């Protein structure tokens, strides 16, 4: 599929609006096991993306994704700025305007490795990686109803972090007490995947 | 230009960062280039990559800069800030694995003796239990 300027703008706006709409929920989740600022931080970052969306989407897909990543790094604050910033910047490095599902999956796999390195974390530690990794599996499978499976997988994967014990991030200070709450970063990742799936449906 | 390694203090709280900087200055005066920052881009508790980059600039020394951080996000944002520096500066900035207040004072005291970046980092990290 071709991700032209209009599609890029639509993609960034949809993702930003979805995160902003979920900001209060993210903050509530973070209040339970973190420092209670995830939604506030993500809202600030994605409001900055929205404010610059015309400028950001004017560049080719690679450059515009890097631009989104840099905006998040500079504006989000908290660890989620560099983590999401790294995800978008890494995707930008490996994607052209014309993309196949396979190329997106390869780029996403590379981006996940970059996020792991940035957060010194891995799958199973109650983080955003616990959503991103199963989503990669769905991208690799591809197929006709890929967008529906992306949404369902991301949502379920975020819920699967509830019984996990946090190993990284502020929630790890709580030890056993981090069990029983959904990870806010996993939830924000699921929101972003959900928005991207909506945009993909419009393109195909 | 100072001949000593620079020290940067990064806290989630501007008050903690400023207070730590005052303690460092009390110990070493102006002998060590010093930068500090605290607070997120919206002015709340948190850290900002942009502010960290400015603090590194302020504390810049040809011998390098040692950064002391408090909690997780401060470390992640400091590492991100280092990667966004001009290439020739990146390998002359390190994040020390040490408590922020004690680490900053110890690191600055070592830096004031003219020690190398590696020695400054080692001194700060001696405070961390293994």
Q: Mapped to the 3 state alphabet, what secondary structure does chain A carry? A: CECCHHHHHHHHHHHHHHHHHCHHHHHHHHHHHCCCCHHHHHHHHHHHHHHCHHHHHHCCHHHHHHHHHHHHHHHCCCCHHHHHHHHHHHHHHHCCCECCHHHHHHHHHHHHHHHHHHHCCCCCCCCCHHHHHHHHHHHHHCCCCHHHHHHHHHHHHHHCCCCCCCCCCHHHHHHHHHCCCCCHHHHHHHHHHHHHHHHHHHHC
Which of 70-129 (B) contact A at CB < 8 A? 71-73, 76-77, 79-80, 84
**Residue B45 touches partner A, C-beta closer than 8 Å:** yes
In this prediction, residues A48-53 reach a mean pLDDT of: 98
Confidence of residue B121 (pLDDT cuts 50, 70, 90): very high
pLDDT score for B2: 59
ipTM over 0.90: no
Residue A18 has pLDDT above 70, yes or no: yes
Of B92 and A144, the structure prediction assigns the larger pLDDT to: B92
**Residue A40 touches partner B, C-beta closer than 8 Å:** yes
Q: Which residues of B touch A36 (CB under 8 A)?
A: none
pLDDT in tens, B100-113: 999 999 999 999 99
Count CA within 13 A, CB hemisphere, residue A64: 25
Among residues B73, B122, B59, the alpha carbon closest in space to that of A34 is found at B73
A116 to chain B: closest CA residue: B76
pLDDT in tens, B23-64: 999 999 999 999 999 999 888 999 999 999 999 999 999 999
In this prediction, residues A84-100 reach a mean pLDDT of: 94
pTM to 2 decimal places: 0.91
- For chain B, give the DSSP string: --SS-EEEEEESSHHHHHHHHHHHHHHHTTSS-EEEEES-TTSSSS--HHHHHHHHHHT--TT-EEEEE-SHHHHHHHHHHHHTS-HHHHTTEEEE-S-HHHHHHHHHHHHHTT--HHHHHHHHHTTS--
pLDDT in tens, B9-25: 999 999 999 999 999 99
Reading the block at residue B92, the tokens are: 């002359």
pLDDT in tens, A166-191: 998 888 889 899 999 999 999 999 99
Residue B130 has pLDDT above 80, yes or no: no
């Amino acid at each position: 599929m071709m991700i032209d300027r209009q599609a890029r703008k639509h993609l960034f706006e949809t993702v930003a609006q979805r995160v902003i709409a979920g900001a209060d929920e993210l903050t509530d989740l973070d209040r339970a096991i973190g420092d209670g600022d995830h939604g506030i931080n993500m809202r600030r970052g994605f409001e900055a993306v929205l404010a610059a969306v015309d400028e950001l989407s004017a560049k080719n897909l690679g450059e515009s994704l890097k631009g989104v990543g840099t905006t998040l790094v500079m504006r989000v604050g908290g660890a989620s700025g560099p983590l999401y910033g790294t995800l978008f910047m890494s995707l930008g490095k490996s994607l052209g305007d014309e993309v196949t599902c396979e190329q997106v999956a390869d780029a996403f796999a590379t981006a996940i490795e970059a996020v792991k390195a940035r957060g010194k974390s891995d799958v199973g530690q109650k983080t955003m990686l616990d959503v991103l990794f199963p989503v990669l599996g769905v991208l690799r499978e591809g197929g006709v109803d890929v967008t529906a499976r992306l949404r369902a997988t991301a949502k379920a994967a975020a819920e699967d972090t509830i019984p996990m014990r946090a190993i990284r991030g502020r929630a790890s200070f709580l030890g056993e007490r981090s069990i029983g709450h959904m990870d806010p970063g996993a939830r924000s990742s699921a929101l972003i995947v959900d928005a991207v799936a909506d945009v993909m449906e419009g393109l195909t | 230009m100072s001949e000593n390694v620079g020290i940067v203090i990064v806290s989630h709280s501007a008050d903690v960062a400023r207070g730590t900087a005052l303690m460092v200055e009390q110990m070493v005066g102006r002998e060590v280039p010093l930068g500090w920052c605290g607070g997120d881009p919206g002015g709340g508790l948190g850290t900002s990559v942009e502010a960290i980059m400015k603090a590194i600039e302020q504390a810049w020394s040809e011998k390098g800069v040692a950064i002391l951080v408090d909690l997780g996000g401060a470390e992640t944002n400091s590492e991100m800030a280092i990667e966004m520096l001009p290439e020739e500066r990146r390998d002359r900035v390190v994040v020390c694995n040490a408590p922020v207040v004690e680490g900053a004072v110890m690191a600055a005291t070592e830096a004031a003796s003219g020690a190398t970046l590696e020695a400054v980092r080692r001194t700060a990290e001696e405070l961390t239990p293994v």
